[in-house]
Amino acid sequence: MTATELATSYPVSRQAVVKHLGALTAAGLLDTERHGREVRYGVVAGRLGGASSWLAEVGERWDRRLDALQRQLGRSPA
């Protein structure tokens, strides 16, 4: 898909979509293919497994931290 096509599906500007696509491309999660003035983006499926695992790990760490904070706040006097 192109950045323009993607931008129509989200409540952000095309420029914001392009910026995010650039970051994902730099991370190796997307490939680009130029057709004239148009740039098409495609997912690099093999790289998504690692990204998904990393996100799950970070999410679990945040869940533990937030649970600990909630327990601590529950013990604090109001």
pLDDT, tens digit, for every residue of 11-61? 999 999 999 999 999 999 999 999 999 999 999 988 888 888 889 999 999
In the structure, what pLDDT confidence band is assigned to residue 76 with cuts at 50, 70 and 90? Answer: low
For residue 43, what are the β-bridge partners? 30
Distance of CA 48 to the CA centre of its chain: 11
pLDDT of residue 33: 96
Mean pLDDT on 60-73: 94
How many residues can be counted in the chain?
Answer: 78
- How is the chain split into domains, by residue range? 3-75
Partnered with residue 39 across adjacent β-strands are 34
For 63, the 3-state DSSP assignment is: helix
Provide the CATH topology of domain 3-75: Arc Repressor Mutant, subunit A (1.10.10)
Does position 66 have pLDDT exceeding 60, yes or no? Answer: yes
Give the predicted TM-score (pTM) of the model: 0.65
